[in-house]
């Protein structure tokens, strides 16, 4: 439709699914994720893990938060008319500008282009919240206005960051990061925005697929480039096989439980949504780690074998642990099922010290985790009809 009043959608709406516009929005984040991953690879391969991880966290936070802002708003107020579509396309343009500024922010602490990208996104999103406020009344109207004001205040802070001394920018970044996270908490105090649980879980799942897909793409390019230059098949094949097993297991484990059944209110949804910063960030970092392992195998990374291994095992273990914390533990019965993922995360970390086959060993551990999870879930399902999860696994 050309125009329709923007009113809240029902959180109980049947058959609610992601729209083509939402899928298009997600895909445009691939550019920013790839840029962040490429800078992390360079930092780790050069032996600067501290600055690399900090820089990666900062730029990935920008990616994740931009996606979060749109996703939760769309779940509540997507009316799919012409103004809504145009505002979303403007946000996509902002995402691409932000992606263009990732390397400068990461390498030189120069956030000018990235902040301009956010400014473009925020103009469109603020207009969306004001439009939502115009169609609401009472507490819902107040919540929408609070979101709009919070966006403007935080964006003014980001613009001000550009004029701060270089040595204080990262400290101020943390302050602004906290302010951003507080906006939804404050806005939702008196009224819960009517997000749709099944729709939100699907949206997070789709973004997880994009992150894991980018990991496979980056790893494939790295292995191909190394083979073209060095023909070191015997060194690269274990890394490629192990990396693929890790990504396959990560997909299986993430989608093993019906998470929408757990999200009943903001009490569950806000920690769950915020925790995905580490899920998404770790998922993308696995690909960067595989690239580092490949570069080390062919002699291009100036780091030790243990450091190269850790670039894969640490984000893999973090992914497993966060999925357990946010997803799996809510659907487990008994200590064996509860301990599967935490113990697997520890086992993956232990693979760091297994030499040149560390990535392959980590992949085998991840695969064994899926097998154990499927077995335990199957036994639980056979023991009684009240099992709260499918036999899909961990």
Residuewise pLDDT in 10s, the chain (394 residues): 788 889 999 999 998 999 999 999 999 999 999 999 999 999 999 999 999 999 999 999 999 999 999 999 999 999 999 999 999 999 999 999 999 999 999 998 899 999 999 999 999 999 999 999 999 999 999 999 999 999 999 999 999 999 998 888 888 999 999 999 999 999 999 899 999 999 999 999 999 999 999 999 888 888 887 777 766 778 888 999 999 999 999 999 999 999 999 999 999 999 999 999 999 999 999 999 999 999 999 888 889 999 999 999 999 999 999 999 999 999 888 899 999 999 999 999 999 999 999 999 999 999 999 999 999 988 877 775 444 444 456 7
**Residue 140 near residue 191, CB atoms below 8 Å:** yes
CA 289 to CA 384: how far, in whole Å?
A: 42
Please state the separation of Cα 365 from the chain's center in Å. 23
CA 66 to CA 84: how far, in whole Å?
A: 17
| This prediction's pTM | 0.94
Instruction: Report the pLDDT value the prediction gives residue 386, as an integer from 0 to 100.
Output: 46
CA 337 to CA 158: how far, in whole Å?
A: 44
Instruction: Report the pLDDT value the prediction gives residue 393, as an integer from 0 to 100.
Output: 61
Instruction: Report the pLDDT value the prediction gives residue 391, as an integer from 0 to 100.
Output: 46
Both tokens assigned to 222: 């790295």
Nearest to 29 by CA among 76, 68, 74: 68
Instruction: Report the pLDDT value the prediction gives residue 20, as an integer from 0 to 100.
Output: 95
CA 345 to CA 314: how far, in whole Å?
A: 9
Distances (CA, A) of 265 to 14, 83, 206: 18, 30, 21
**Residue 151 near residue 125, CB atoms below 8 Å:** yes
Site of tokens 């914390």:
325
Instruction: Report the pLDDT value the prediction gives residue 387, as an integer from 0 to 100.
Output: 44
**Intra-chain end-to-end CA distance of the chain, in Å:** 43
φ, ψ for residue 376 (rounded to 5)? -65, -40
Instruction: Report the pLDDT value the prediction gives residue 388, as an integer from 0 to 100.
Output: 45
Distances (CA, A) of 183 to 46, 52, 124, 186, 280: 38, 28, 17, 5, 21
Nearest to 250 by CA among 200, 277, 287: 287
Task: Transcribe 13-38 into DSSP letters.
Answer: -TT----HHHHHHHHTHHHHHHHHHH
CA 206 to CA 189: how far, in whole Å?
A: 28
**Residue 42 near residue 26, CB atoms below 8 Å:** no
């Amino acid at each position: 439709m050309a125009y329709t009043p923007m009113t809240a959608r029902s959180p109980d709406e049947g058959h609610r699914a992601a729209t083509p516009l939402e899928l298009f929005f997600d895909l445009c984040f691939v550019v920013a994720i790839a840029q962040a991953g490429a800078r992390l690879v360079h930092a780790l391969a050069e032996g600067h893990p501290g600055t690399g991880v900090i820089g990666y966290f900062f730029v990935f936070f920008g990616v994740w938060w931009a996606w979060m802002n749109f996703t939760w708003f769309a779940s509540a107020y997507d009316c799919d008319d012409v103004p809504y579509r145009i505002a979303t396309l403007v946000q996509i343009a902002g995402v691409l500008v932000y992606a263009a500024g990732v390397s400068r922010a990461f390498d030189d602490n120069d956030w000018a282009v990235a902040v301009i990208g956010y400014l473009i996104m925020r103009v469109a999103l603020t207009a969306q919240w004001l439009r939502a406020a115009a169609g609401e009344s009472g507490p819902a109207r107040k919540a929408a206005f609070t979101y709009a004001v919070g966006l403007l205040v935080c964006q003014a802070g980001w613009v001000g960051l550009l004029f701060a001394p270089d040595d204080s920018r990262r400290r101020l970044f943390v302050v602004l990061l906290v302010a951003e996270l507080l906006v939804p908490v404050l806005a939702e105090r008196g009224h819960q925005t009517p997000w749709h649980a099944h729709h939100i879980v699907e949206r997070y799942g789709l973004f997880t697929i994009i992150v894991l897909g980018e990991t496979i793409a980056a790893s494939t390019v790295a292995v191909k480039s190394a083979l073209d230059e060095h023909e070191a098949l015997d060194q690269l094949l274990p890394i490629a096989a192990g990396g693929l097993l890790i990504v396959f297991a990560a997909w299986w484990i993430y989608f093993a439980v019906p998470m929408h059944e757990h999200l009943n209110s903001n009490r569950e949804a806000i920690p769950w949504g915020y925790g995905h910063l580490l899920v998404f960030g770790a998922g993308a970092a696995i690909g960067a780690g595989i690239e580092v392992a490949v570069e080390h195998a062919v002699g291009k990374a100036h780091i030790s074998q243990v450091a190269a291994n850790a670039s894969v095992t640490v984000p893999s273990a973090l992914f497993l642990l966060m999925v357990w914390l946010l997803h799996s533990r809510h659907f487990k019965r008994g200590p064996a099922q509860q301990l599967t993922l935490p113990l697997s995360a520890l086992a993956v970390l232990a693979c760091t010290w297994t030499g040149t086959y560390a990535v392959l060993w980590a992949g085998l551990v991840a695969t064994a985790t899926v097998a154990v999870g499927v077995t335990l879930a199957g036994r639980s399902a056979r023991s009684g009809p009240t099992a709260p999860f499918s036999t899909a696994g961990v």
